[in-house]
Amino acid sequence: MNRPGWWFIFKGHQLLTQDDRGEMSVPLMRDMEELRLSPLGIQPIGRIDDAQCYVADLPEDSEAPQGMAFRGLRGIFGSLDEDMYAMAIKALGIVNWDRTSRFCSQCGAKIERKPYIIGKECSQCGFISFPRISPAVIVLVERDDSALLARAGRFKGNLYSVIAGFVEPGETLEETVRREVKEETGIEVKDIRYFGSQPWPFPDSLMIGFTARYAGGEITIDGEEIIDARWFHVGNLPEIPGKISIARSLIDWFIEKNSQKGGTGK
C-alpha cells in the first residue's frame, strides 16, 4: 500500500470520524497501524477520485484514537461530503454483510471474500454468495393538495411519514405499492410513478421511491403496525422525517410542487 487511502472504520454501526475545525472526514492514511487499531477484517470497497477506500471492522471494545470519535451515520448526514457519505453507506452495507455471512449456506464450510467482486466463495463447494439487498417501496400518495401520511407504532415522538414496505417474492414494484398502501391505510392508488431510490443499510434495504394519486377508499388502519393515518394538507403538515431519508425527499417534493402552484395562482 503506497498511497494513502480513505478508511471507513466501523465499531458496530458507528463510523470513526475526525472533526478538523468543523470539517468532518474519515482518516486518510496508508494503513491502520497509523492509528494503532486492530481490525477484525479489512476490505477494499472502491475509490473516491484517485484514492482507494477501505472498510474495516473493529471489535466492540475498541477506543477511538485522540481527536476522533465513533459516530452514527444518521447523525453525521450533511457533515461529511456527499461522495464520502455515499461511500460510508456502502461501507456499512459491506461490513454488515461480512459480519453476517461467515459460512456457506449450501454446505456450511467457511467462505472467503473474492477479489474484484463483492462476493464470497466457499472453499469446499465453490458456491458464491453476494450481499443480501432487500428492496422496499416507499410512496407518497397525493389527493389534491393533501398527502397521505401515517404514524407507525415504532416511530418516536409524533412523527408521521409516507407509506413503505418490503417487496414480496413474485411482486412487481407497482404491485407492492398498491398492496402496501391498501394494507396500511385502506386506500386505493393510481398513476404510480418512479421518484428515485436510496440505499438504506440499516441493515440492508434499497428504498425505491414512488409517487401515486388517490383512486378511492376510506382510511382504515390496523391499529397495531400503523396507529394513525390521515390526509395532511400541504399547509398543515405534522412532524416529518429528517433530511437524510428519501421519505423526506418525497415530502419536500410534494411541498415544493404545491407551493409553486400557490405562487403562480394556478
Binding site for Zn ion (CB under 5 A): 104, 106-107, 109, 122, 124-125, 127
If the CB atoms of residues 51 and 107 are measured against Zn ion, the closer one turns out to be 107
Please name the residues in contact with 189: beta carbons below 8 A apart, sequence gap of 6 or more.
139, 141, 177, 178, 181, 212, 213, 214, 215
- Cis peptide leading into 203, omega within 30 of 0? yes
d(CA 206, CA 200): 6
Q: How far is the CB of 156 from Zn ion (least distance, A)?
A: 42
Q: In the bound complex, what is the minimum distance in angstroms from residue 144's beta carbon to Zn ion?
A: 56
- For the bound state, the minimum distance from the C-beta of residue 123 to Zn ion, rounded and expressed in Å, comes to 8
Query: Closer to Zn ion at the Cβ: 11 or 120?
Result: 120
Closest distance to Zn ion from the beta carbon of 44 (Å): 24
Buried b (16+ CB within 10 A) or exposed e, 106-142: eeeeebebeeeeeebbbeeeeeebebeeeebbbbbbb
Question: For Zn ion, which is the closer residue by CB, 35 or 111?
Answer: 111
Query: Is the CB of 126 or the CB of 262 nearer to Zn ion?
Result: 126
d(CA 56, CA 212): 41
Q: Which is nearer to Zn ion, 64 or 104 (CB)?
A: 104
**Could you tell me the sign of the dihedral formed by the alpha carbons of 34, 35, 36, 42, in that order?**
negative
CB of 59 to Zn ion, least distance (A): 27
